[in-house]
Amino acid sequence: MTEVHRPPLTADERTQLTGWLDLQRSFVRMKCDGLSEEDAHRKLLPTSPLTTVAGLVAHLRWVEYSWFHLNLLGVPDTGQTPWTEDGHPDAEMFVDDVPLGRLLDEYDAECACSNEAIAGLPLETVERGQPADKAASLRYVLCHMIEETARHVGHLDILRELLDGTTGYTRLTETTA
């Protein structure tokens, strides 16, 4: 398991925002560590059958793509996303036949692409993929992605506990720089 670090206590705003997002992202892989394929795809919630570990990882991957590339950068969707006009609103979570390792690798790659895409952008940068009166700043998007990722890490935490009793976060250290 990888050791993860909280962002520095006195860092600038951008370092804090990206640091907290990266920390939450690291917990996704941590929550999946050592999980079997069967358990990663196990449907534990009768009223929410798409809420599986694998489904949440896939959802987080596409949320990254949607917020950072489609919305913020305004990259047009050329059919690469799982969503279609008449399709299921949670189509990204239909991953029963996709191995968890592949989903995690795709999520990690998407997170790296997101980080690369925003590296040179000021926090005041406004979404290009939204109408001007509904466009959010990069600062807003980062705050939202921290919230979104942390919420789903909580879901992963609950699912993992239900699957095999594993709880908590290990190897989390404070950064003092």
pLDDT at 168: 77
**pLDDT of 160 strictly over 50:** yes
Whether the model clears a pTM of 0.75, i.e. scores above it, the answer is yes
pLDDT at 86: 86
Residue range 4-173, CATH number: 1.20.120.450
CB 100 within 8 A of CB 35: yes
Q: How far apart are CA 96 and CA 1, in angstroms?
A: 25
For the segment 126-145, the average pLDDT, to the nearest whole number, is: 94
Q: Give CA–CA dist 5/33, Å, rounded.
A: 17
Question: What is the Cα–Cα distance from 114 to 98, expressed in whole angstroms?
Answer: 22
For the chain, domain boundaries: 4-173
pLDDT band (50, 70, 90) for residue 175: low
Q: What DSSP line would sit under 35-78, residue for residue?
A: --HHHHT----TT-TT-SHHHHHHHHHHHHIIIIIIIIS-----
Q: Of all residues in the chain, what percent carry a pLDDT higher than 90?
A: 76
Summarised one tens digit per residue, pLDDT across range 81-129 is: 888 888 888 889 999 999 999 999 999 999 999 999 999 999 999 999 8
* Three-state DSSP string of 123-171: CCCECCCCCHHHCCEHHHHHHHHHHHHHHHHHHHHHHHHHHHCCCCCCC
Mean pLDDT, residues 54-68 taken together: 96
